[in-house]
Amino acid sequence: MIQKILIFFFAPLLFLSCQQVNQPENHQQDPPQGSLFIIGGGHRSLELMDRLSAEAGIYEGGDVVILPMSSSVPDSAIIWSSESFLELGIELERIKGYNFEPEQEPKEEWINVMRKAKLIYISGGDQNRFMDIVRDTPIFDAIHHAYQQGAMIAGTSAGAAVMSEKMITGDELRYEEYRSTFRTIESENIEIADGLGLLTTAIIDQHFVWRSRHNRLISAVIEYPHLPGIGIDESTAILVRGDSAEVVGISQVLVYRNPDRSALTQEHKLGAKNLRLDIYLPGETFSIK
């Protein structure tokens, strides 16, 4: 009788306890406090860099960290990237150029400065080279920490491509020869790799109008239909805060969407219906969801 009473009282407690143990932990982070300034490559006017600097808040203080690892000449990339900030009156001692080397332990001092930086700027070059050095390292974590805490993360050309979670590498899977413009719209041809993942709701492409990169971004939105494709032209940027993007600069930003999740394949040729294209001009805003 006593055993039955004990089971009656303690069985519900045991059940609740098991439920709590089996509940998955909630690892969801708060929305980032920072912003993104994603430049499509080409000439960066002083007006463009002034807007970047003002939005980052570096006129009021704080460090600018330049990451040149995309470039084949990283030391020169640091100098070229620094020139605009110096011309805008940012003191030299606040501009840090950190060329992290492949397969070397990142310097702890550099990582600590990055985590507290007001602005992290990623140069152009080869996005694959950058991600090969940064992926799964304290450098990656420091960029995300700074962004989470309110820093601006900016980049141009390859530095733009790395912003999205699904990153266009620039290479084609069906053709060995590199071409800056895809000549076809084919299935399983566009190579996508893991980027920084600062932007998880879209795929970024750059030098867009100038190099006529429509074919590869159309391929991307057919094969990854849940993600809009954002093509940023040269001398132009998007300023991203939360779910909103503003066009900054002198040219256009093209956004392809696949609202019906349409995808057809015929002998490797891709087809789709009711794709949507919006062309945004400087000063206009749009949703990146």
The CATH number covering residue 116 comes to 3.40.50.880
From the list 203, 183, 207, 184, the residue with the least C-alpha distance to 195 is 203
Residue 179: what pLDDT? 86
Query: Pick from 54, 48, 115: which is nearest to 84 by CA?
Result: 48
Q: For tokens 């805008």, name the residue.
A: 88
The pLDDT of residue 288 is above 80: yes
pLDDT for the residue 248: 98
Residue 154 has a pLDDT of 98
Evaluate whether residue 8 is within a structural domain: no
Mean pLDDT of 256-266: 97
pLDDT given at position 1: 46
CA 209/CA 246 separation, integer angstroms: 18
How does pLDDT run across 65-91, given as a tens digit for each residue?
999 999 999 999 999 999 999 999 999
What is the total count of domains within the chain? 1
- Model confidence band, residue 180 (pLDDT cutoffs 50, 70, 90): confident
Tokens of 107: 């310097």
- The per-residue pLDDT for 25 is 39
pLDDT at position 29 is: 66
- Other beta carbons less than 10 A from residue 241's beta carbon: 15
Triad 43, 169, 281: Cα angle to 5°: 40
- Is a pLDDT exceeding 80 seen at residue 184? yes
Q: Which pLDDT score is estimated for 103?
A: 87
Asked whether residue 23 is domain-assigned, the answer is no
What the block records as the tokens of 93 is: 């001692």
Cα–Cα distances in angstroms (integers) from residue 191 to residues 182, 217, 222, in the given order: 12, 11, 13
In the chain, count H helices and then E strands: 8, 16
- In a domain, residue 80? The reply is yes
Range of the domain at 214: 30-287
pLDDT tens-digit map of 196-247 = 999 999 999 999 999 999 999 999 999 999 999 999 999 999 999 999 999 9
Q: What confidence score (pLDDT) does residue 7 get?
A: 43
Task: Specify the DSSP element, H or E, that contains 202.
Answer: none
**HSE toward the beta carbon, residue 55, CA cutoff 13 A:** 23
4 within some domain: no
The pLDDT-based confidence of 24 (bands split at 50, 70, 90) is very low
Contacts of 3 (CB under 8 A, 6+ apart): none
> Is residue 58 assigned to a domain?
yes
Question: Which whole number is the average pLDDT over 89-114?
Answer: 96
Which one is predicted more confidently, 20 or 107? Answer: 107
Neighbours of 215 (CB within 10 A): 17
**Distance, CA of 85 to CA of 56 (rounded, Å):** 12
For residue 19, pLDDT over 80 is answered with: no
Is 227 part of any domain?
yes
Note whether residue 25 is domain-resident.
no
Nearest one of 152, 121, 115, 141 to 33, comparing CA atoms: 152
The single-letter code of the amino acid at 288 is I
Tokens standing for residue 153:
């993360």
127-134 vs 138-149: helix crossing angle, rounded to 10 = 100
Q: Is 19 inside a domain boundary?
A: no
pLDDT of residue 289: 83
Strand locations in the chain (E): 35-39, 64-67, 95-97, 119-122, 152-156, 166-172, 190-194, 203-206, 229-232, 236-241, 244-249, 253-257, 264-266, 269-271, 276-280, 285-287
